[in-house]
Amino acid sequence: MKSRFETKEYEFLEIESRDTEDGKIVSIFLNNPTSRNSMTWKMGEEFADLIHSIKKEKVLPRAVIVSGRNDVFCAGGDLNLLRSFSEKSFSQNRRDMRKFYGFFLSVRKLPVPVIAAVNGHAIGAGLSLTFGCDLRIFAEEGKYSFNFVRLGIHPGMGSSYLSPELLGKSLGGRLLLTGETFDGKFAKSCGLALDSVPKSEVYTRAMELALSLTKAAPLALQELKRNLYSWKQLDSALKKEAESQARNFISDDFKETIKSILEKREPKFTGK
């Protein structure tokens, strides 16, 4: 018999389940084919609803995999969503950004191991989502970047906390400050990714890892997850990010970002 969350239909997500002798493995796929799995408000609501539904199950899955359809993981924030932020007030954006982060980073509150099967490009908030997972498998040829500052905004989706947490202040700060692009091999070399494999093998490798996790004692893993992370510290960082981005969204520089994207050119920032 299928779980309740398996029978629900989502516009921007797909769900697959695999039953093993030790329990279920649930796979969540971001699926926004019109814009490279970019994050919309509706996708966020669906994602948070799904995570909440999984947490409510009497028998939890033994592991969860987060991946992407359409030969990509996630291109970051949807352009129409970003444009809407430039039209709102500071207070509206501060409130909305904090809520938007919470939709996707709810994955961090799952009491079971979560594997990011990063099967292609992951940019900005999309890359931040992978940092919110417990383990990561990256595609060797994928392109990854925290491109926030190149869009005229403070890093968001928890990246200002998660990146230094995972990589240390030196490397984590470098990736945030420069917005540089790196590949899966670099991700593995610096310890961000557990493994880096060709794109076609990412999900298979993630499933192998998930199957190995089903052999561990589930209660022990749940206790470990509770003790590994401090949601309080992340929540504090999210509030600061939301306030910083809210200021950036009403700046001339961010309006220039939107204009340059529509005109397909590099932005010219003035610091106003």
Look up residue 220 and give its two tokens: 């022990």
Q: 13 forms bridges with which residues in the sheet?
A: 30
Look up residue 75 and give its two tokens: 């291109």
Cα gap 154→176, rounded to integer Å: 9
pLDDT at 243: 97
Q: What would the pLDDT profile of 18-52 be if each residue is shown by its tens digit? A: 999 999 999 999 999 999 999 999 999 999 999 99
pLDDT at 7: 82
User: In this predicted structure, which of 3-12, 95-104, 173-182, 208-217 has the lowest mean pLDDT?
Assistant: 3-12
Task: State the chain's maximal CA–CA distance in angstroms.
Answer: 60
State the burial class of residue 202 (Cβ atoms within 10 Å of its Cβ: 0-12, 13-18, 19+): buried
Domains of the chain with CATH codes: 13-200+217-263 (3.90.226.10)
CA nearest to 146, candidates 172, 167, 165: 172
Query: In this structure, how many other beta carbons lie within 10 angstroms of the beta carbon of residue 114?
Result: 24
Determine how β-strand 181-182 pairs with β-strand 144-145: antiparallel
Query: In this structure, how many other beta carbons lie within 10 angstroms of the beta carbon of residue 145?
Result: 19
Q: What is the pTM of this model?
A: 0.96
